[in-house]
Amino acid sequence: MKKIFLVVCILFITGCTSLEQKSETDFEREKLKNLNTVYKINENSSIYSNLKEIKYTNETGKEFDLKESLENKTITIDELISRMNLINAANDGGSLFYESTDDLTNTKFYLARCNSLPGNGGIKDIFIFDNEDQMYDGYCTING
């Protein structure tokens, strides 16, 4: 009887842990399913957006598609961000929030460069939105 009780307790505890981890994963998938994947930076980070296409202009004023430029390696995300205005920072480990400038694009967009600590999800993705408020909707933290 004690062995059965012990097995049941172990299964119950293990099951609870799995459900807890699953809910965090499902939460993140739910948030990302309404976004387009723009570009996979590396194994641990990608660029997501609610915009169907993101256009930017280079220093000479010629307009380009961001996804295509990233894929062709004619621009890096760091080069794009260097032409944006820093507007806020999060207290999650180092996430930064930017706003496009008039010389960067004809259509304003906002960028969240996530750099949260492991306790906040360890998210290193980049999110681009057409709305500043959406940028702060917890995309950079697991419990956002």
Average pLDDT over residues 124-144: 89
Asked if pLDDT for residue 11 goes beyond 70, the answer is no
pLDDT tier at 5 (50, 70, 90 boundaries)? Answer: very low
28 vs 35: CA distance, rounded Å: 11
HSE of 5, CA atoms in CB hemisphere, 13 A: 2
For the chain, where are the alpha helices, taking DSSP H only? 2-32, 66-71, 77-82, 132-135
pLDDT given at position 55: 95
pLDDT tier at 12 (50, 70, 90 boundaries)? Answer: very low
Structure tokens at 39: 């570009």
pLDDT tier at 29 (50, 70, 90 boundaries)? Answer: low
Average pLDDT over residues 62-90: 96
pLDDT given at position 104: 95
51 vs 38: CA distance, rounded Å: 9
Mean pLDDT of the chain: 82
pLDDT given at position 30: 73
